Amino acid sequence: MQILNNLKWRYATKKFDADKKISDKQLSCLKEAVRLSVSSYGLQLYKVLIVSDPEIKKQLQPLCWQQSQIADCSHLFIFCSYKNYNDNDVDDYIKLVTTEQGLEYVTLEGYGAFIKGKVSEKTAMEQTAWLERQPYLAVSNLIMACAEQQIDTCPMEGFTTEDINRFFHLNSKNLNAVVMVAVGYRSKDDIAQYRKKVRKTEADLFEIVGG
């Protein structure tokens, strides 16, 4: 399967070639891969900032442990979860579904109430944890889409969330930066690309239950 070859090819790129950029067509494809990602109940309770401006990336680098990937990558995807859940988020989703699928709102009103009920069962701490997990589902899609096009990536949590939130004024937008993905092309000088990929064995990782 080609997907396995893609996964074997990719690695967490430590040094990007700052002179190589992804094309607008490639960027559109990556955005669509993120948009089509799965999410809990289909709500997509997150937003993705995409930074390509060299000056902004340089300003972000000190907030991200001075990691070179921030400044040298072609595009930096910053995945932000919603800080707080609101029942209106479900209402907006149900309206979107009914509009796109040509349905009457009443046909999905019960499903909307079901979602609201399940989310309300969570404590405030559980809701926060749930919201922060949502972007990671889309991160996986982005990495896979990049690997298919031989575009390099480096998922990153090495930054101070509060600093990034302040930089982009995210708190006022009900957003919280949770993970970044640097996207671009590996530098020939990145020694990480020559290392053997190391993963647990199939026997260590999987346990077949009831079979």
Alpha carbon distances (Å) from 136 to 30, 37, 93, 94: 15, 10, 20, 23
Query: What kind of architecture, by CATH, is found in domain 2-193?
Result: 3-Layer(aba) Sandwich (3.40)
Query: Per residue in 34-90, pLDDT tens?
Result: 999 999 999 999 999 999 999 999 999 999 999 999 999 999 999 999 999 999 999
Pairwise CA distance, residues 74 & 54, whole Å: 9
Residue pair 182/70 in contact (Cβ under 8 Å)? The answer is yes
- Alpha helix locations (H) across 52-102? 54-60, 68-72, 87-101
Closest to 10 in 3D by CA, of 129, 156, 185, 176: 185
> Is pTM beyond 0.85 here?
yes
Q: How far apart are CA 141 and CA 147, in angstroms?
A: 10
CB hemisphere CA count around 113 (13 angstroms): 6
Q: Consecutive 10-residue runs of the chain (211 residues): their mean pLDDT? A: 95 98 98 98 98 98 98 98 97 97 95 98 98 97 98 98 98 98 98 97 96 70
